[in-house]
Structure 1
Amino acid sequence: MEQKISPSKSALPYGILFGIFMVLEFVILYVLNIDPITNPTVGIVVNVLNYLVLPVILIIIGCNNYKKKLNFGFISFGECLKIGVTICLIAGLIYALFSIVFNLIFPEFMDEILKKTRQVMVQKSPEMTSEQLDMAMSMTKKFMSPALVVPVTVVMFSFIGLIYSLIIGAFVKNDKPESF
Structure 2
Amino acid sequence: MDAKISPAKSGTLYGVLFGVIMILEFVIMYVIGMKSLVDTSVGTIVNVANYLVLPILFIFLGCNHYKKNINNGFISFSESLKTGVSITVVAGLIYALFSVIFNFIFPDFINEMLEITKSQMITQNPNITDKELEMGLGMVRKFMNPFIVFPVTLVMYALIGLIYSLIIGAIIKNDKP
Whether the TM-score (by the shorter chain) exceeds 0.5 is: yes
Q: CA separation in 2, counterparts of 1:36 and 1:16?
A: 29
Alignment of 1:108-119 (within 5 A): 108-119=108-119
For structure 1, list consecutive stretches of 5 or more residues without a partner in the other structure. Answer: none
Report how far residue 172 of structure 1 moved: 0.8
Residue 150 of structure 1, CA deviation: 0.6
Residue aligning to 2:154: 154
State percent identity of aligned pairs: 56
Tell me the equivalent position of 2:170: 170
Trace 1:44-59 onto structure 2 (pairs within 5 A).
Answer: 44-59=44-59
Q: Which whole-Å CA distance do the structure 2 matches of 1:35 and 1:153 have between them? A: 23
- Say whether the 8 Å CA contact 1:85–1:162 is kept in structure 2: yes
Shift in Å, 1:9? 2.7
Q: How does 1:24-103 map to 2 (within 5 A)?
A: 24-35=24-35, 38-103=38-103
Q: Which residue pairs with 2:143 in the alignment?
A: 143
Letter in 2 for 1:148: I
- Measure the CA separation in 2 of the matches of 1:18 and 1:2: 28
Distance (whole Å) between structure 2 residues aligned to residue 34 and residue 129 of structure 1: 26
CA contact (8 A) 1:59 1:165 kept: yes
CA distance in 1, matches of 2:165, 2:159: 10
Q: Gaps spanning 5+ residues in structure 2: where?
A: none
Offset of residue 103 of structure 1: 0.8
Q: Offset at 1:36?
A: 7.6
Structure 1 CA distance, aligned partners of 2:173 and 2:16?
Answer: 23
Give the Cα separation in 1 of the matches to 2:164 and 2:25: 22
**Contact between 1:67 and 1:73, CA under 8 Å: does it hold in 2?**
yes
Contact 2:35 2:116 (C-alpha < 8 Å) held by counterparts: no
SS in 2 for 1:164: helix
TM-score scaled by length of structure 2:
0.95
Task: Quote the offset at 1:37 in angstroms.
Answer: 6.3
TM-score (normalizing by structure 1): 0.94
Query: How far off its partner does 1:34 sit?
Result: 4.1
How many Å separate the matches in 2 of 1:88 and 1:138? Answer: 29
Shift of 1:2: 8.1
C-alpha RMSD of matched pairs (Å): 1.5
AA of the residue aligned to 1:78? S
